[in-house]
Amino acid sequence: MQKGFESRRKPRGISVRFIILGSLLLVFLIVGGIFAYRNLGYYYVGADEVAVVVNNLTGGVKTIDRAGVVIYVPFLQNVYTLDKREQILVMSSANITPTQPEGNPLWVKAVDGGDVSLDMTIHYHIIPGMADFIIQDSGFTNAFKEKWLYDYGRAICRYDFGELRVDDFPFAERRAEKANKAKEELNKHLKPHGIEVLAVNVQDYRYYREYAEVIHERRLADKEVQEQLAKGAAAMENQRRVIVEETKKMDVEVARFRGDLQKREIDAEGKAESIRHDAAAYYEKVVVEADAEYARLAQRALGVLAAKKAEAEGILDLKKALEGEGGRNLVKMEYARRLREARIQGIPVVRPSAEFPFMRMERETLPPGAVVK
């Protein structure tokens, strides 16, 4: 029973301590709230500023990028502001200060060994959204200028403009090219620290008198070279003009020749077409004449064939007729015709029958009524 009683008494003692601590905390909060309410501070943030509120208890940092009043609790909070307007870093011999009696121009060693003094400005501003990072990175004041901007600005500009020769500085486009390159390099290194470079401008440049004399001589030489180049360009232009004119003349002659050639081709094609038509007509004529001649000869051949056939048939009929008694009669008639037409001469003193027996035979063979001459 004792043990059970003791276990019930322990929770009751713990709850009393909690009640006491809670009461003290509540009193402390009430008193602190009244004190804070009576001692609240405020700070007016301009349109060209960005405020950073730092909590001293938690270490939290808050950026306020707007114009207006910022209310804070003193001792518990601090308010810092940064200028977000465009600012200018001047590097010039005219920027004379007690610590810099000769100014702070940028001395550049040119790529050809010459020393050049530049008066220039770097235009920049902070990135408002990174104000809290700038304070944590560089401090509560404008320490970011000396910590980052001055060193990077002079080093990068000295390096980039050092790529020029001494006689390149009089040319604004070459200086502008290097200024743009320096701006890109500066933003590459400064933006991570909350700084953005807007422009790099070169106002003036200076170098020693010896450099100026050499540069002047070089300019005179360059001017003479430019004049010679201009003369050469004019000669080249004249040459191109002559080439264009001669080319046009050649094109005209070629076009004329091509036109003449095309005309001759058309005439030749016309003559060839005429010859082809004549040949086709002659061919048709020869074919028609040949067909007519062939038909005529064919008809003639048929007539000859028919005549010869009829003659053959007549001979055949004559042959058949001569194969019988009519044939012998026909032979006799022919023999008599021949004898009638025969002429027999003789000498009266001759006795034919005694001296020429063949006469006797002829006489004996003569038909009745024949006269022997």
Inter-helix orientation angle 150-161/172-190, to 10° = 140
User: Residue written as tokens 């040119």?
Assistant: 110
State the pLDDT at residue 324. 64
Do the Cβ atoms of 190 and 148 come closer than 8 Å? yes
Q: How many CA atoms lie within 13 A of 28 on its CB side?
A: 6
State the pLDDT at residue 46. 77
Report the distance separating Cα 299 and Cα 306, nearest Å.
10
pLDDT tens sequence for the chain (373 residues): 344 434 444 444 557 777 777 777 776 666 555 555 545 676 777 788 888 888 777 778 888 888 777 776 677 777 888 888 899 989 888 877 787 777 888 889 888 777 888 999 999 998 888 888 888 887 777 778 888 888 899 999 999 999 998 888 888 899 999 999 999 999 999 999 989 999 999 988 887 666 666 666 777 787 888 888 888 888 888 888 889 888 888 888 888 888 888 888 888 888 888 888 888 888 888 888 888 888 888 888 888 888 888 888 777 776 676 666 666 677 777 777 777 776 666 555 555 555 555 555 554 455 555 554 4
Closest CA to 159 of 138, 123, 188: 188
User: b/e string for 1-13 if b means 16 or more Cβ within 10 A?
Assistant: eeeeeeeeeeeee
User: What do you get for the CA distance between the two ends of the chain, in Å?
Assistant: 219
Closest CA to 121 of 81, 94, 159, 148: 94
Q: Class assignment of domain 86-207?
A: alpha beta
